[in-house]
Amino acid sequence: MKKILIVGAGGQIGSELVTYLRGIYGGSNVIAADLRENEKLAADGPFVKLDALDQSSFAYTVHKNGVDAIFNLVALLSATGEKNPQLAWNINMGALNNSLEIAREYKCAVFTPSSIGAFGGDFPRQNTPQDTVMQPDTMYGVCKVAGELLSNYYYSRYDVDTRSVRFPGIISNVTLPGGGTTDYAVEIFYSAVKGEKFVCPVRDVYMDMMYMPDALRAMVELMEADPAKLRHRNSFNIASMSFTPDIIYNEIRKRIPDFEMTYRIDPVKQNIAEGWPDKLDDTCAREEWGWKPEWDLSSMTDDMIRAIKAKNL
């Protein structure tokens, strides 16, 4: 990767990926693109206001800048997707379709995140294998499975270098996530640090989670991996920690003992969470490109509390 374009750069993952990639590949070689102006992303490198659904502007940006790798982070997440399934399909598949077509024309590599939300139906919830039943019943999951298949198609049919991981819930302290089922695992830290009682929308359900630094490293390590070693492409299971709301609550209480949590179940989120894996098996990612997480629940909790306290909210 020499010249990178990140579409959907203003979101939870994009806002940190831009900085991370600029640190590795050089500020001027990482173009951030988003629907909305973003002063932060424009401060230390190129920024383009771009709608990823506008194929000709997207293609023009790739061509004009000599882009050789596209990170497509445009997505409506799981809970929002259930409120407006048609919009979720149009945005999620439209941005992916444009990324793949433009990559085919201009010979770019493409990274598009898949998700634990791609699983569904009668699959093993514990140590969910890389290759298993994937029959999701959310529009987000439908888009993720279709996206994995379409990305593999572009690889085998057109030789587009498509690669992807199935992200767990990503926990971070820079930009808040929005519209996801796993968002509670970020919001809980802000409530704890601000001294507020946290009202949790899901209960007694394990979901995979990952701290942002591991997620950023995973994207780069996969995109830089030796293609000859990849038996899979779209998408790899990756994992680092799995917990229920009670478990993360108790972990935070070890550091903030008077923190309180109560439940008000959101039936949509609870239903989605119960349909997802409890814990992924990431053996293939470990074997094929050396994936290994560096953060666990305890070290992440320390770091999240430190970083959010430093914001003086």
Based on the shown chain and the rule CB under 6 A, indicate whether residue 88 belongs to the binding site for ligand AKB: no
Looking at 120, 141, 147, 180, which residue binds ligand AKB (CB under 6 A)? 180
Closest separation between CB of residue 281 and ligand AKB, Å?
17
Cα within 13 Å of Cα(247), Cβ side:
13
| Shortest Å, Cβ 270 to ligand AKB | 13
61, 78, 112, 151: which one contacts ligand AKB (CB under 6 A)? 78
Contact between 92 and ligand AKB by CB under 6 A: the answer reads no
Question: Is 116 one of the binding residues for ligand AKB (CB under 6 A)?
Answer: yes
d(CA 76, CA 186): 18
When the beta carbons of 13 and 110 are compared against ligand AKB, the nearer one is: 13
Q: Would you list the DSSP string of 271-294?
A: HHHHHS-SSB--HHHHHHH-----
10, 120, 169, 275: which one contacts ligand AKB (CB under 6 A)? 169
Can you tell me the distance from the alpha carbon of 62 to that of 89, in angstroms, rounded to the nearest whole number? Answer: 24
**The residue count for the chain:** 313
Assigned token pair, 312: 């003086």
Q: Least CB distance from residue 243 to ligand AKB, whole Å?
A: 14
Indicate if the alpha-carbon torsion angle 210, 122, 184, 145 is positive or negative: positive
Q: Which of 146, 134, 285 is nearest to 215 (CA)?
A: 285
Catalytic residues: 140
Q: Can residue 76 be called a binding residue for ligand AKB (CB under 6 A)?
A: no
Q: Who contacts 9 (Cβ-Cβ below 8 Å, separation ≥6)?
A: 15, 17, 18, 32, 33, 34, 38, 41, 47, 73
Give the binding range for ligand AKB (CB under 6 A) out of 66-74, 115-123, 195-203, 254-262.
115-123
Select 180 or 293, whichever has its Cβ closest to ligand AKB: 180
Nearer to ligand AKB, 68 or 282 (CB): 282
Pairwise CA distance, residues 33 & 82, whole Å: 26
C-beta closer to ligand AKB: residue 268 or 308: 268
Cβ distance to ligand AKB smaller for residue 31 or 165: 165
Rounded to 10 degrees, the C-alpha dihedral 167/170/176/182 comes to 80
Contact 14, 74 (CB under 8 A): no
182 forms part of the interface with ligand AKB (CB under 6 A):
yes
Tell me the residue nearest to ligand AKB as measured from the CB. 180
Site string for ligand AKB, 125-154 (x = CB under 6 A): ---------------x--------------
Q: Does 181 bind ligand AKB (CB under 6 A)?
A: yes
Token pair 């634990």 is found at 116
Query: In this structure, is the dihedral angle defined by the CA atoms of residues 83, 87, 92 and 93, taken in order, positive or negative?
Result: positive
Chain residues in the site for ligand AKB (CB under 6 A):
77-78, 115-117, 140, 167, 169, 180-182
